[in-house]
Structure formats: C-alpha cells, structure tokens
Amino acid sequence: MTDPLTRQLVIGQPFCLDAVLEGAQDFRWRSWNGWHSGVLSGNLIHIRQIGHRVEYRADSDSDLDILLRRYFRLDDDIAAIHADLSSRDFKIASLVKKYPYLRILRQPDPWECTVSYICSALAKIPQISEKVEAIAKELGNKIKLDGDVRYTFPTPEVVLEVGPGPLKELKLGLKRDRKIMAAAKRIRAGKLNLCRMAQPQVCYAEAKRRLMGCDGIGDKIADCIALFALDKLEAFPVDTWVEKAMADYFFLCKKQPAGDELVMWAQDHFGKYAGYANQLLFHDQMD
C-alpha cells in the first residue's frame, strides 16, 4: 500500500534537487535519512530525487504541490530564460549547457529570508544555518515528521512580543539581534512591507532601496533578499565568489567595476534574468 504521506512532484524539466537545495540560497535544509528536511510555510517537508522522480513527505495530509512548484520556480519558462541568457553571452551559454538543472528558489517567507541574510554577513554557510535554526528553535513552534523534529520560523510579531532578550541570549554576533529587532520594528511601523515588495508593481530599485533602509542590510544582502524572496530576477548579488567569476570571465584584461557599478554592468549585460546568470556563475565557482 502506498504511504499516504508520500507524494510525487512532477518536474518535467532538467532538475537537480541536491544542487538547488545545497546552493546557499535557503539555509534551513539539512540531510535526514536520505531525504532533505526543510520547513516551508510552517510545513515540515522531506524531499528527495530518485532519478527523474522527485518525491516528498509532509507533516500533514495537505497537498503541497503548489507551494513546492512556486518554491522551485517551476512556473518559470526556463527554456526561454536560458535562450535569452545564451543569446547575450557565450560564457553564460556554456554554463547553461553545463548546469541546465539549476533553479532560483522563490522563498515563501520574505521575513525569514531577510533574517537569514542578516545572519549571513561575514559567516560561512554552516554558521548561517546554525544561527537561523537557533532562532527558529528558540522562538518557533515544534513540528515533527518521521522522528525528525524541526521548528517553524517566528514572525516579526513574535520577535517583537518576546522582546530582545531571547535573541541576545543566542549570541548571534555582529549585533545581529539588534538588527533583526530593528527590521521587525520597521515592519510593524509599515516602513517595510515585504509582501507588497514581492509584487510585480514594486520595481527592483524600490525594493532594494527599502531593504537597505534597514540596519545590517547592504547591497549584497538586499540583492539576495530581492532575488530569492521578492521575485526580482534582475537582482545580482555580488559576493567574493561571483566577484571572482566576473573578474575571470569578463574583466581579465581590464579593470573590473566595483560595487553598484558592477551590479549595473551585470544587469545591462545579462538583462532581466541577471539573477539566473548570477547563480550559474556562483555554482560554477563552487562546483
């Protein structure tokens, strides 16, 4: 008899679950008995890929296909995106052929993404995951699946309700507790409406400007949040890996622009799907 908690997610495109979930976009995935374990929209999900088949289990009998299809951006016309990028640059065209399975994640909770990237400053991936998980464990609700215990991520309202003490006790470093509290206060005051910023009528420039009004959110972090949670596919986060890739592939014999100038160059060169080019370059450096 088929386990009622196990479902199949129809992909129909080149796809590699491991590469996508381990690609330093969303920091709450971990290995669990041959599955990837993660929490999305309050649901504890186990997911794995076997050949061309992707299957998942959840802590409820809810059908999560729609949530997962949005999360993996399976609604994107990936063939058209790859064609557009390939027509713009031969190096990106070669990376499209090399990594056709890469996807950008559309994270369902922009607040969780914002906190995660506030925690990312000057931290390595395992450290970021540890900090984000510690916040969830301290302030979230416990959920279980197959003996796996995880925690939902606390809302801004919960963070403000409990006050600064619990976050301070986590010793997140770099005054991250204060920065998270400050961002939560901006949301409560109506100065940072993350859900509205994810809407298409809010342009990338406005979303980035509003994000950077928060203490602890600079250019790179703002671009990460805009790309992974606010549906701004032109966002182009520049970390040390992407900066190196740009220097190696595009500015080998000339001075490379820095900061905003490099982001603007990339957006002009790669077009409206610059974020996809960014992930291809990042993955190639990490591969």
Catalytic positions are 220
Q: Which two tokens stand for residue 264?
A: 């603007």
Per DSSP (E only), the strands in 20-165 are 30-32, 35-40, 43-50, 53-58, 142-145, 148-151
DSSP 23: S
- Tell me how many degrees the CA angle 156-108-271 measures, rounded to the nearest 5: 115
Burial label for 155, CB within 10 Å (0-12, 13-18, 19+), is middle
Q: Which of 128, 132, 106 is nearest to 225 (CA)?
A: 106
Q: From residue 285, give the alpha-carbon distance in Å to each of 61, 239, 263.
A: 40, 11, 18
CA geometry: angle 27, 94, 279, nearest 5 deg: 20
First to last CA, the chain: 40
Closest CA to 104 of 231, 13, 10, 270: 231
Instruction: Give the long-range contacts of residues 163-168, CB within 8 A, separation 24 or more.
Output: 166/138, 166/139, 167/135, 167/138, 167/139
Packing angle, helices 260-270 and 274-286, rounded to 10: 110
